[in-house]
């Protein structure tokens, strides 16, 4: 799918709605819907409003449609963003108000592979929409798009009803993935004994095997001990809850790949992935470039391969594997294994101001072992990359990786565990779930420290692709004029504010205080943040 083709079709969509005199476009910022957001914003005919919360977006659009007697257009990214429109769509259907929902989506090939923020959005709002069309930018022709635009828009107007146009786009600004290449049809070993035998044989033949353990990796302590004894490296991310006490566990995957490139570590000839796909999907790209055999070990019926790089799938539950089956594995020569030492980037400490990388580095060096809940977008990525300390457990919502409901989930984790949980979330995630603060003071069992990393909203888009979005940053980075201190006060929750590293160190040294419930706002300096990330 070329950028030019995407561009041509997004302009076609804009021109169609202009001709039909439909001008109100309510956008919830996202990466997947970026091409359409940019196209609408370039035509002064359209009245653009950005609303970060899709629930509010839906009802705001509903109000405009009621007032103007014309359909409003709702534009969202994929995943839970679409689900959050459901209440407004139901209301529009029953009150007979026309809405046109443009839901961005991933290509059909990404369904059921474990690709991030991907779910089945086909006819998602049925029976509360009168019409639906699924347009794949990589396959369908312009005349099809124009026909179905006319058809579903007419349906919205004639029936006074919501309609959905689902728009499937591949990575719109990153170009074609380097992973897209022909490879043999994968083999799936689903029988317990055959699966185990085949995987053990692969390991026996390999000179330099490496495991990657994602969330829900199901590695038992016995298997971990054997892999350590055999000197087989296990790459992981902090969010995977794998203890760092084993000498063969490497939590900084990119440091490991960097050392492979410098020939400081032996070149792997077998990579075995367990659990959910890595949060940092560039890991797949790094592994694919190695040219080694790549296989997946799954536990149930979920065969995941978002980048189509695996040659074999083995159904194995390591919690039920007899230890004797592992004992025949050869021990990897120690010269092929380096003593792992996380690299330090001291530039993060040069300023007294706080950036997200320095926040997590300082936090990990100061706070004793704790239980964490990680927000999506930047917090989970930065925790994985920069947090070098120990932890008891790590929780996060990575099924669809939405930024909704994170406060409520963190509160539920604390309530269920009956102990203190430290939560890191972004300012937009906090705003998304303010209503859940009403839960916290009602339930005295909840012991939750909420660190709100206030970077001015939507900074992940600069990290993902800063060059393309800088000219229309208001469509992606969404700074909000709200006071976290006033919100905390309104819900009678203790509040603190951190603006420099001395204040950070002072506050986190007292985290084990008697105050069970606390909101701690961390002001992230944008200039320092961009500098630390080389933006």
CB 54 within 8 A of CB 78: no
Instruction: Reduce the DSSP state of residue 368 to 3 states and report it.
Output: coil
> The tokens of 503 are what?
């204040």
Using the predicted structure, report yes or no on whether residue 349 has a pLDDT greater than 60: no
Stronger pLDDT, 107 or 94, i.e. the higher one: 94
Q: Pick from 364, 374, 369, 453: which is nearest to 407 by CA? A: 374
Give the neighbor-by-neighbor strand order of the sheet with 270-274. Answer: 187-189, 312-315, 293-298, 270-274, 209-213, 234-236, 249-250
Query: CB-based contacts of 124: which residues, under 8 Å, 6+ apart?
Result: 82, 83, 103, 164, 166
pLDDT at 503 over 90: yes
Note whether 178 and 285 are within 8 A (CB).
Answer: yes
Mean pLDDT value across residues 178-184: 50
pLDDT band at 464 (very low <50, low <70, confident <90, very high): low
For the chain, the average pLDDT equals 85
Question: Of the given ranges (9-13, 284-288, 331-335, 524-528), which has the lowest mean pLDDT?
Answer: 331-335
* 319-333, 337-351, 363-377: range with lowest mean pLDDT: 337-351
Angle between helices 378-386 and 356-366 (to 10 degrees): 50
Q: What are the Cα distances from residue 253, in Å, to 212, 436, 461?
A: 9, 35, 23
Indicate whether 337 pLDDT > 60.
no
Q: What is the mean pLDDT of residues 65-90?
A: 94
Asked if residues 134 and 168 have their Cβ atoms less than 8 Å apart, the reply is yes
Q: pLDDT value at position 177?
A: 41
Of 4-13, 306-315, 496-505, 520-529, least confident by mean pLDDT is: 4-13
β-bridge partners, 76: 103
Average pLDDT of span 369-382: 92
Say what percent of the chain tops pLDDT 90. 47
Question: Which residues in 149-183 are b (16+ Cβ under 10 Å) and which e?
Answer: beebbebbbeebbbbbbbbbbbebeeeeeebeeee
Residue 107: the pLDDT is 86
CA distances, 472 to each of 77, 213, 475, 477, 499 (Å): 17, 38, 6, 9, 28
For 425, half-sphere exposure in the C-beta direction (CA atoms, 13 angstrom radius) is 32
Mean pLDDT along residues 185-192: 83
Query: Span 344-357, mean pLDDT?
Result: 70
At residue 319, does pLDDT exceed 70? Answer: yes
- The answer on pLDDT for 341 being more than 80 is no
Q: How would residue 182 be classed by pLDDT, with cut points 50, 70 and 90? A: low
High-pLDDT (> 70) share of the chain, %: 87
Task: Name the band, by pLDDT with cuts 50, 70 and 90, for residue 261.
Answer: confident
Round to whole Å and give the CA distance between 335 and 345. Answer: 27
pLDDT of residue 347: 47
Give yes or no for residue 440 having a pLDDT over 90. Answer: no
- A 10 A CB-CB count for 442 gives 7
How far is 398 from 284, CA to CA, in rounded Å? 17
- 48, pLDDT greater than 60: yes
> What pLDDT is stored for residue 280 in this prediction?
87
pTM summary value: 0.84
User: pLDDT-based confidence at 221, cuts 50/70/90?
Assistant: confident
User: What is the model's pLDDT at position 479?
Assistant: 67
- Report, as an integer, the average pLDDT of 112-132: 87
pLDDT, tens only, 391-434: 999 999 988 888 889 999 999 999 999 999 999 999 999 998 99
pLDDT given at position 16:
92
Model confidence at 339, pLDDT cuts 50, 70, 90, reads very low
Q: What pLDDT was estimated at residue 416?
A: 93
Per-residue pLDDT band for 43 (boundaries 50, 70, 90) equals very high
Contacts (Cβ under 8 Å, ≥6 apart) of 290: 260, 267, 268, 271
Least confident range from 32-36, 163-167, 340-344: namely: 340-344
Burial of residue 18, with CB atoms counted within 10 A of its CB: 0-12 exposed, 13-18 middle, 19 or more buried: middle
CA-CA distance, 476 to 41, in Å (whole number)? 12
pLDDT of residue 534: 74
Longest CA pairwise span in the chain (Å): 74
Give me the pLDDT at residue 174, please.
41
Please tell me whether residue 6 adopts helix, strand or coil conformation. helix
Per the CB < 8 A criterion, the answer to whether 397 and 409 are in contact is yes
> Is 131 in a helix, a strand, or coil?
strand
pLDDT (0 to 100) of residue 465: 55
Q: Quote the pLDDT of residue 417.
A: 93
The Cα–Cα gap between 25 and 133 comes to: 19
Confidence at residue 134, expressed as pLDDT on a 0 to 100 scale: 92
């Amino acid at each position: 799918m070329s950028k030019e083709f995407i561009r041509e079709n997004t302009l076609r969509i804009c021109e169609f709605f202009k001709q039909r005199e439909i001008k109100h476009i309510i956008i919830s910022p996202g990466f997947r819907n970026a091409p359409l957001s940019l196209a609408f914003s370039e035509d002064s005919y359209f009245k653009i409003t950005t609303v970060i919360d899709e629930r509010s977006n839906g009802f705001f659009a509903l109000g405009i449609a009621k007032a103007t007697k014309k359909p409003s257009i709702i534009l969202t990214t994929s995943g839970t963003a679409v689900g959050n429109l459901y209440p407004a769509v139901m209301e529009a259907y029953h009150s007979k108000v026309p809405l046109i929902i443009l839901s961005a989506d991933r290509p059909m090939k990404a369904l059921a592979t474990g690709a991030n923020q991907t779910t089945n959005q086909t006819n998602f709002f049925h029976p509360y929409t009168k019409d639906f069309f699924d347009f794949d930018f990589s396959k369908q022709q312009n005349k099809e798009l124009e026909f179905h635009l006319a058809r579903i828009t007419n349906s919205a107007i004639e029936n006074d009803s919501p309609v959905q146009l689902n728009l499937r786009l591949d990575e719109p600004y990153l170009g074609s993935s380097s992973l897209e290449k022909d490879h043999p049809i994968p083999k799936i070993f689903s029988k317990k004994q055959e699966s185990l035998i085949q995987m053990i044989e692969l390991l026996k033949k390999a000179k330099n095997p490496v495991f990657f353990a994602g969330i829900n990796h199901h590695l038992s302590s016995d298997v971990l001990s054997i892999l350590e004894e055999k000197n087989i490296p296990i790459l992981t991310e902090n969010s995977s809850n794998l203890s760092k006490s084993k000498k063969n566990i490497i939590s900084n995957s990119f440091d490991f790949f960097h050392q492979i490139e410098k020939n400081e570590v032996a070149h792997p000839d077998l990579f075995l992935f367990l659990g959910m796909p890595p949060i940092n999907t560039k890991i797949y790209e790094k592994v694919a470039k190695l040219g080694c055999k790549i296989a997946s070990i799954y536990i149930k019926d979920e065969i995941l391969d978002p980048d189509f790089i695996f040659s074999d799938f083995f159904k194995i539950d390591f919690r039920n594997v007899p230890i004797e089956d592992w004992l025949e594995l050869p021990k990897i020569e120690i010269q092929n294994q380096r003593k792992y030492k996380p690299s330090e980037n001291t530039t993060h400490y040069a300023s007294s101001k706080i950036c997200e990388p320095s926040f997590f580095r300082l936090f990990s060096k100061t706070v004793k072992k704790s239980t964490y809940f990680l927000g999506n977008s930047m917090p989970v990525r930065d925790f994985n990359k920069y947090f070098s300390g120990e932890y008891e457990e790590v929780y996060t919502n990575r099924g669809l990786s939405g930024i909704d409901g994170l406060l409520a989930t963190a509160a539920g984790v604390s309530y269920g565990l009956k102990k203190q949980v430290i939560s890191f979330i972004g300012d937009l995630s906090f705003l998304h779930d303010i209503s859940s603060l009403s839960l916290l003071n009602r339930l005295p069992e909840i012991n939750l420290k909420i660190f709100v990393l206030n970077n001015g909203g939507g900074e992940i888009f600069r990290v993902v692709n800063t060059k393309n979005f800088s000219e229309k940053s208001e469509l992606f980075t969404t700074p909000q004029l709200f006071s976290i201190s006033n919100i905390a006060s309104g819900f009678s929750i203790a509040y603190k504010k951190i603006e420099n590293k001395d204040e950070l160190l002072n506050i986190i040294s007292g985290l084990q205080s008697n105050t069970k419930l606390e909101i701690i706002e961390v002001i992230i300096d944008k200039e320092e943040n961009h500098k630390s990330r080389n933006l």
